[in-house]
Amino acid sequence: MLEYFHPWTNSAGFYMARQKGYYNEAGLDVIFMTYDRYWGNSIDYLVRGDVTFAITPFKRVLLQNEQNVPIRSIALINNCSFETIQTLRSKNITRPRDLCGRRVSLHPTKKGVAMLRHIVQQDGGDPDELVLIDSGEREVTPEELRSGIADASYGAYWAWEALMPSTVSEQERVVWRIDELGAPVQPGYVLAVREDTLQKQGNIVRDFLMATRQGYEEVFNDPNSAVPLYEQATPYFDKRLISTSLEAVAPTWFHNAAWGIQRKELFEPYVGWLTDKGIITASNSWWKVVTDKYLSRT
């Protein structure tokens, strides 16, 4: 199960592994799915057993375990976050604290609101002065900011939505990555699986991860090699967007030439922040839901 309403370039390693036959070589038939929001997000499908693997934010893995649902994170896909704050130069917002008293559109999840407030506070602003506009799960476009729907937006990805073609000039657009604005160090997406799958089909999990790593290595070394795959998977997106996005997202997949490793220095500060903000409660047991042992054959 992919992580969004439609495939996007972050899943390129999976598509390449299938295209190159790495899954077939491991004796695996792999189907990629996108979720129907009526039935939940990717981890909801995983919890029900509708899928074997799910790409998901790590926070959702933690929340499931707090409800005594044994979901495990078995590989890190992204070594950083993707969210941005976007605005227009004409709005005269030059730093996060300038958002105080201004209208900011976002999907007002508990984590999203807390992160936006954190960034503003880190810059010396009063987060209580933010005027939040609920945009649901859609991302507000630069054109909509220009039309006056809000003064700024929070959430759109610097490696995807921020790269989409726009009638608003590049000179007018302002895109800030939150990891450059004082946001806590954090992992991006992880690959999750049910505990019973690990217990009963551990060898399949290992084979799947080995093949997937090969796919990500292929695209990392040549991002544009995946463009034809997305011309088939998402023919409704511009080829230039796919190419630019692949170039942007590929460096997030590896740390010191390693794929999948779930590093303590990346996870622990983020889990501490989630606990401090009341989003989760059991920060001292986060490591129990994480395992790297299936990333190797031994």
For the stretch 94-109, pLDDT in tens is 999 999 999 999 999 9
pLDDT of 71 strictly over 90: yes
Mark which of 180, 210, 245 sits at the end of a domain: 180
As a whole number, mean pLDDT of residues 176-191 equals 95
Does any domain span residue 4? Answer: no
Global confidence as pTM: 0.95
Cβ-proximal residues to 144 (8 Å cutoff; 6+ apart), any chain: 150
Q: Could you tell me the pLDDT band of residue 9, with boundaries at 50, 70 and 90?
A: very high
Digit-coded pLDDT (tens) for 48-66 = 999 999 999 999 999 999 9
Residues 190 and 71 placed together within one structural domain of the fold: yes
pLDDT of 209 strictly over 90: yes
pLDDT of residue 296: 87
Residues 144 and 122 placed together within one structural domain of the fold: yes
pLDDT of 297 strictly over 90: no
What CATH number is attached to the domain comprising 129? 3.40.190.10
| Residue 14 to residue 58: CA distance in whole angstroms | 19
Q: Report yes or no: 290 and 70 within 8 Å, Cβ to Cβ.
A: no
pLDDT of residue 298: 62
Residues 96 and 35 placed together within one structural domain of the fold: no
pLDDT of residue 283: 62
Residues 132 and 266 placed together within one structural domain of the fold: no
Residue-averaged pLDDT of the chain: 96
Does any domain span residue 3? Answer: no
**Owning domain of residue 17:** 9-80+186-295
Residues 163 and 44 placed together within one structural domain of the fold: no
pLDDT of residue 285: 79
Report the domain count for the chain. Answer: 2
As a whole number, mean pLDDT of residues 165-186 equals 96
Mark which of 180, 206, 223 sits at the end of a domain: 180
Q: Could you tell me the pLDDT band of residue 279, with boundaries at 50, 70 and 90?
A: very high
Residues 68 and 140 placed together within one structural domain of the fold: no
pLDDT of residue 284: 63
Residues 101 and 229 placed together within one structural domain of the fold: no
Residues 146 and 169 placed together within one structural domain of the fold: yes
Residues 47 and 75 placed together within one structural domain of the fold: yes
Residues 205 and 253 placed together within one structural domain of the fold: yes
Q: Could you tell me the pLDDT band of residue 251, with boundaries at 50, 70 and 90?
A: very high
pLDDT of residue 167: 97
Does any domain span residue 1? Answer: no
Q: What is the DSSP string of 114-178?
A: HHHHHHHHHTT--GGG-EEEE-TTSPPPHHHHHHTS-SEEEEEETTTGGGS--SS-TTTEEEEEG
Mark which of 115, 150, 180 sits at the end of a domain: 180
Residues 92 and 76 placed together within one structural domain of the fold: no
Residues 270 and 234 placed together within one structural domain of the fold: yes
pLDDT of residue 206: 98
